Structure 1
Amino acid sequence: MDFAAKLIENIREIVPINSNDEKAIIEHFRLKKLQKKEFLIQRGDISKHMRFIAQGSLRNYYLDSQGKEHILQLGIEGWWINDFYSFFTQTPAKFYVQAVEKTVIMQISRDDLEKLFISIPLMDRYFRLKIQKGYIALQERTIFRMSQTAEERYLEFRSKYRHLEQRFPQYMIASYLGVTPEFLSSVRKKLYDS
């Protein structure tokens, strides 16, 4: 499978790079394979790479003081995942990023990314637009979590991310939505029975 082609396709959806740009971009990215349940980042690590999911799925979560898991992000092919705060500030990660299934990542170091921004200015634009989109999604999710019922949040999740429901276990989706697995199960049953 051509993982580099997936990355280039993702970039081309946002910015018009040429074939010379493609070659330069691919030269700066490295392939990393993860087994199911393997960690990409653990709390305390410093994130030194920006990471594109070429195949598979991951979750980004943190553990509260009671050891309860809170999922902040679910990621599949074509998405970027990281502890962005750690990456941008070069401070220890507060989150865990773990493979949910066998996964292939295309990653680029901070230094190589800065070089790309200089040599291919469209890459700076690409990442700016991706980060803006991610920030907007985070704000929407925060507002929905404060203003919607758990059932409304689940319905919103299903309408936006129907394909994720098939890829992640129910307890992970429940954590992402901020509900218990039992509550999510009862909401799903209620919806399917009606």
Structure 2
Amino acid sequence: MSLEAGPVSSSVSQLEFADALLRAAIRPERIGAVVTRIMQENNDIGPIVIGPGGLLRADARMRGETATVEPDESDLCQFDVHVPLVLWLDIHLGELHARLLARVHVRTHVTLIPDVPCALVIQLHPIRTCDVTVSTEGRNMLGRIITRFGMVTSLLAGQIATHANSLLSSPDLIEAFRIDILGLIDRAWDAGFVFGKSL
């Protein structure tokens, strides 16, 4: 029996194939899962110094909730990342003690960058203070007074941006966000997965 065959015509263009590969390799929910894990595993961000000359000190505990990732409709290499957080704050000024609950929304962007020889790097953009939205709720009398005058909202946003940037620039995350596509294909061939069974 002859194994000769005519030329195989492609049903997709090279550009369409590359787009499909990007979609398959970097799914938004996978990026969201990694960011969520990093934020949930690092829940201590205190003590926070607030006010001129460090007048106030706050102990803070953070709970990271599920991050969501939205792909850009016109650019497959761009994603919006939204990270909701909840903070419990204990603010001290001498003998005075204020308790606050802060609900936080952090927004950042992700860009996919091709790298040699055949890899994709997921690059998180730095988080600015203006990318952090904070709403506070007083949990005791002094906390309600502080919340009413908006004394800590902008200061918290800056502290949270700094903390988030520190977490999202960790070596472990940078390593996890480099996808070695060539290495994955080589391992699939070596393990026989290309044929659906181990050789």
| TM-score, normalization by structure 1 | 0.30
The structure that is helix-richer by fraction is 1
Q: Find the structure with the greater CA-based Rg.
A: 2
More relative contact order, 1 or 2 (CA 8 Å, 6+ apart) = 1
| TM-score, normalization by structure 2 | 0.29
